[in-house]
Amino acid sequence: MPGGIEGSETLSSDVDLISYSYTMFNNFSRPDAVIRPSNPDEVSSILKTLSEERKKVFIRGSGTSFVGCPAEGGVLIETRRMNEILEVDEEDLTATVESGVQIGHLLKKLPSDIFFPIDPDGLSLSTFGGIIAEDSASPLSLAYGTAGNTLLGLEVVLPDGSLMELGSTTIGARGIESLFIGTEGSLGVITKVKIRLYRRPERLLLYEIDVPHVEDAIEMYSLADISGIPLLGFEFYYRDMFELGGKEVNMGSRVHMLVKSPPKEEVIHEKIKSIAEIEGALKIDVEEYNPMLLPRWRGREYLIEGLKSTGRTVSFISFTVPRDSIFEAISRVDAIGSRMKLETVTMVNPSMNWILTGFTYNFADEKEMKRAERALKMAINQLSEIQAIFGFGTGTGTNMAGLKLRSLDNRELFEKVKKCIDPNFVMNPIFTSKEE
Ligand SMILES: Cc1cc2nc3c(=O)[nH]c(=O)nc-3n(C[C@H](O)[C@H](O)[C@H](O)COP(=O)(O)OP(=O)(O)OC[C@H]3O[C@@H](n4cnc5c(N)ncnc54)[C@H](O)[C@@H]3O)c2cc1C
């Protein structure tokens, strides 16, 4: 066993293993051991040994995803001790960090006019290894793309212990490092990443627009998208978010548009106003938004505040559907909520066709908790019928799961690559037909 790898910590007590058995989403699966290496050489020795022993290996950054610890009966390699910011190049706008660095750690070290836009959990807890391995998205992905779009190079340890430094010297040129984007720890342990940084916008406007129906919010995005409005983000919150605790609201959805202030602000304002009016807006508010708050923006706070005010918790599902099925998806979740007598919360990012929805329950009420679990299963079944792809990410994120569903050729090619790189099928083996 790799407990003897010098420098790396190995945890195997009951208390430690239980604390590594959950992700932020309460998924439970208990590893046999947790190893916490502090540098790539340790990762290399660990992987080589585990691969030779044909032991299942799972990787974990911060565990903020659904897929961060499916480590039942395997060894979990946790990357958080590899947490050094190696270089920030303020001129070229790049940063090189070890893979266990959390987004918030880098954000704090950057000068105020530079930032990194992808903060998927909204709490800046995700690691750089995790966001690349999942090709994570965030509300600002509309303007900046997903985590994979920010990647310039990476260092990875393969299951045979070999250490590869991959990347292009030309900024913007995609190289073979892209192979690891979205592979969810199934090909190797990413130990270092070089990512692109961005200039912080100087002035931002936040539009808050209430519309009568969900369809109006979806349509508003389509119109805004083609009208030349310099959008940084667009999300809408279904009325259920504001109805928590039995409150009554008179709108169908609340739209949040974050706009980079252009030189002719008045022209853009008129455009947004007229689009909102076409969609029958009930309210149009606009305020300046402090750019220093980026990459966070206010929308997600509704969710957190709503849950706090009712003292309830929520079982989430995250999925993408084709744009023309967004309304159908929300209606199906709504109907399940009514049937199961559970309040729901739903937010939608139409630029990525992505929906986060969930059923709320009282943690102390076991019956209600069971009902929420049943509701979630029903939702997954019903949403599968309209081509939902589940998992946190972009729909291209949670990649392997997505690829599996999308195309047999994609899957076949991935399996061939996997066979070459990981012939003993030890790394995150849930993604291989051999183990399924
Ligand atoms: C409230 C909330 C909201 C969220 N919203 C979004 C959202 O809008 N969009 C979105 O995309 N995600 C979202 N997420 C999910 C999550 O934040 C991201 O998936 C995140 O990128 C995972 O980072 P992590 O460090 O926690 O990785 P983990 O959860 O620990 O791991 C994620 C996956 O990456 C692999 N992995 C981790 N590190 C490495 C490494 N060094 N090398 C190789 N593989 C590795 C793991 O094996 C696992 O398969 C949200 C999460 C929360 C809690």
Residues 92 and 172 occupy one common structural domain = yes
Does the pLDDT value for residue 393 go beyond 50? Answer: no
CA of 126 to the centre of ligand 1 (A): 6
CATH of the domain at 258: 3.30.70.2190
Average pLDDT value for residue range 40-55: 94
Residues 72 and 107 occupy one common structural domain = no
**Residue-level pLDDT at 139:** 85
Average pLDDT value for residue range 57-61: 92
Q: Is the CB of 133 under 6 A from ligand 1?
A: yes
Minimum CA distance residue for ligand 1 atom 50 = 121
d(CA 316, CA 373): 10
Q: Alpha-carbon dihedral of residues 62, 64, 70, 75, nearest 10 degrees?
A: 0
Strands of the sheet containing 344-349, edge to edge, are: 283-289, 204-211, 253-260, 231-238, 344-349, 354-361, 313-320, 389-390
**Residue-level pLDDT at 284:** 97
Average pLDDT, the chain: 87
Does 412 fall in a domain?
no
Ranking 7-21, 263-277, 310-324, 375-389 by mean pLDDT, the lowest is 7-21
Q: Is the CB of 120 under 6 A from ligand 1?
A: yes
Q: Is the CB of 63 under 6 A from ligand 1?
A: yes
**Residue-level pLDDT at 64:** 83
Residues 27 and 93 occupy one common structural domain = no
DSSP SS3 for 395: coil
Amino acid found at 420: C
Candidates 24, 29, 64: which one to mutate for ligand 1, based on the most atoms within 8 Å of Cβ? 64
d(CA 205, CA 291): 9
Does the pLDDT value for residue 259 go beyond 80? Answer: yes
Average pLDDT value for residue range 195-213: 96
Minimum CA distance residue for ligand 1 atom 31 = 68
Q: Which helix (H) or strand (E) holds 174?
A: none
Residues 318 and 233 occupy one common structural domain = no
d(CA 7, CA 19): 22
Residues 315 and 280 occupy one common structural domain = no
Asked if 142 and 230 count as a contact pair (C-beta separation under 8 A), the reply is no
Q: Is the CB of 393 under 6 A from ligand 1?
A: yes
Higher-pLDDT residue of 217, 414: 217
**Percent of the chain whose predicted confidence (pLDDT) is above 70:** 88
Does the pLDDT value for residue 224 go beyond 90? Answer: yes
Minimum CA distance residue for ligand 1 atom 37 = 130
pLDDT digits (tens, 9 = 90+) for 299-350: 777 777 777 888 888 888 888 888 899 999 999 999 999 999 999 999 999 9
Candidates 121, 355, 432: which one to mutate for ligand 1, based on the most atoms within 8 Å of Cβ? 121
- String of DSSP letters for 15-54: HHHHHTSB-TT--B---SEEEE-SSHHHHHHHHHHHHHTT
Domain tally for the chain? Answer: 4
Residues 104 and 135 occupy one common structural domain = yes
CATH of the domain at 309: 3.30.70.240
Residues 43 and 140 occupy one common structural domain = no
Q: Is 181 exposed, middle or buried (0-12, 13-18, 19+ CB in 10 A)?
A: buried
The CA distances from residue 348 to 63, 151, 256, 300, 309, in Å, are 23, 26, 10, 11, 21
Does 121 fall in a domain?
yes
Does the pLDDT value for residue 5 go beyond 80? Answer: no
Average pLDDT value for residue range 253-282: 93
d(CA 199, CA 213): 36
Q: Is the CB of 351 under 6 A from ligand 1?
A: no
Domain containing 344: what range? Answer: 298-396
Residues 177 and 89 occupy one common structural domain = yes
Average pLDDT value for residue range 159-174: 81
**Residue-level pLDDT at 71:** 67
Does the pLDDT value for residue 435 go beyond 60? Answer: no
CATH of the domain at 63: 3.30.43.10
Does the pLDDT value for residue 429 go beyond 90? Answer: no
Residues 316 and 389 occupy one common structural domain = yes
Does 234 fall in a domain?
yes
d(CA 374, CA 389): 19
pLDDT digits (tens, 9 = 90+) for 175-203: 889 889 888 888 999 999 999 999 999 99
Does the pLDDT value for residue 372 go beyond 90? Answer: yes
Cα-flanking dihedrals φ and ψ of residue 381, to 5°?
-60, -50
Does the pLDDT value for residue 234 go beyond 50? Answer: yes
Residues 105 and 192 occupy one common structural domain = yes
Q: Which of 138, 172, 199 is the last residue of a domain?
A: 199
Q: Is the CB of 43 under 6 A from ligand 1?
A: no
Q: Which of 248, 278, 293 is the last residue of a domain?
A: 293
Does 433 fall in a domain?
no
Q: Which of 176, 199, 222 is the last residue of a domain?
A: 199
**Residue-level pLDDT at 274:** 97
Average pLDDT value for residue range 69-92: 89
Residues 281 and 315 occupy one common structural domain = no
Does 258 fall in a domain?
yes
Does the pLDDT value for residue 407 go beyond 90? Answer: no
Average pLDDT value for residue range 235-257: 93
- Alpha-carbon Rg of the chain, whole angstroms? 22
Asked if 135 and 182 count as a contact pair (C-beta separation under 8 A), the reply is yes
**Residue-level pLDDT at 101:** 98
Higher-pLDDT residue of 224, 407: 224
Report the first-to-last Cα separation within the chain, whole angstroms: 25
Residue/partner pairs of 370-376 with CB below 8 Å, 24 or more apart:
371/340, 371/341, 371/342, 372/314, 372/315, 372/340, 372/342, 373/315, 374/340, 375/315, 375/336, 375/337, 375/340, 375/342, 376/315, 376/317
Does 416 fall in a domain?
no
Q: Tell me how many helices (H) and strands (E) the chain has.
A: 12, 19
Does 432 fall in a domain?
no
Does the pLDDT value for residue 403 go beyond 60? Answer: no
Does 426 fall in a domain?
no
**Residue-level pLDDT at 329:** 97
Amino acid found at 51: S
Residues 325 and 365 occupy one common structural domain = yes
Amino acid found at 60: R
Confidence category of residue 415, pLDDT binned at 50, 70, 90 = confident
